[in-house]
Amino acid sequence: MSAGRVRSVVADPASVATAIESRMSARAFLPTPVPRETIERVLQLASRAASGTNTQPWRVYVLQGGSRDRLSAQVCAAYDAIYADPSLAAQYGEDYDYYAREWVSPYIDRRRQNGWGLYGLLGIERGEKDRMHAQHRRNFRFFDAPVGLMFTIDRILGRGSLLDYGMFLQTLMLAARAQGLHTCPQAAWNGFSRIVLPHIGAGEGEMLVCGMSMGYADESQPVNGFDTPRESPGAFTRWLE
């Protein structure tokens, strides 16, 4: 099989480029069900992602129907309770630092541009805390996607395995594009791992990496027109000779 991969030719490079360029974080989905065989195909392709010494550190939980709805209800209730009483946030916490503990430029600038760009598109102005809360809450409904995914990793593994996990997630999202699907990777779930992990039946040694929404994007919703800018290669590349 390896020799076959070496000799293989990508017959349509444009389709590969299109999958990469069209990948986006969709935040509104149609209720159209995704066939199980389509999800299995996406996961099969994602399994080809690279990992150090082929450790393949990913574990995936697929939520649909009642399992998805029950988790959404639990986390939405907790999120609303924290909004009403911020002291309750102490009961929850992430298993690892996804974001920086201290923000500096240019990262804080890009983060702000992303946040206010999205809110601006939705007509949410600074200080409209209720509307911001409602929009962020949509994360916990998987943005109405029919498929929710939860990703875990064994806590015993090192930080390099999280790098491997990133390659797996990107491969999965590109494979989803090949099936006409869109996705939204979500770190928002991480703060509620104490609810998520028991719900999905994760073992004691598992840590929540992130969640993801997957389905058919609702093209009629303005939020899916949000386009995040990217730096040009010249801004992040040095050529050494």
For residue 152, give the CATH number of its domain.
Answer: 3.40.109.10
Order the strands of the 182-186 sheet from edge to edge: 59-63, 147-154, 206-215, 182-186
- Position 236 in a domain: no
- Dig out the tokens for 97 from the structure: 């630092």
Write phi, then psi, for 179 (nearest 5 degrees): -100, 10
pLDDT recorded at residue 240: 98
The answer as to whether 81 is a domain residue is: yes
* Count of the separate structural domains present in the chain: 1
**186 in Cβ contact with 210 (< 8 Å):** yes
- What are the pLDDT digits (tens) for 145-203? 999 999 999 999 999 999 999 999 999 999 999 999 999 999 999 999 999 999 999 99
- Does residue 3 have a pLDDT over 90? no
pLDDT value, residue 165: 98
Name 184's bridge partners.
213
Find the angle CA(70)-CA(37)-CA(211) to the nearest 5 degrees: 40
Tell me the residue range of the domain where 70 lies. Answer: 22-96+139-225
pLDDT at 5: 82
Indicate the helix (H) or strand (E) that contains 136.
Answer: helix 129-137
Residue 126 placed within a domain: no
> What are the pLDDT digits (tens) for 39-87?
999 999 999 999 999 999 999 999 999 999 999 999 999 999 999 999 9
Residue 4 pLDDT: 79
What is d(CA 43, CA 106) in angstroms, rounded to the nearest whole number? 34
Domain assignment present for residue 8? The answer is no
pLDDT at 2 over 70: no
Residue 230 lies in a domain: no
Give the count of beta carbons closer than 10 Å to the beta carbon of residue 221. Answer: 16
Q: Average pLDDT of the chain? A: 96
Residue 12 resides in a domain: no
pLDDT digits (tens, 9 = 90+) for 7-45: 888 889 999 999 999 999 999 999 999 999 999 999 999
Residue 127 inside a domain? The answer is no
- Whether 6 is covered by a domain: the verdict is no
Q: For residue 209, which of 102, 80, 61 has the smallest C-alpha distance?
A: 61
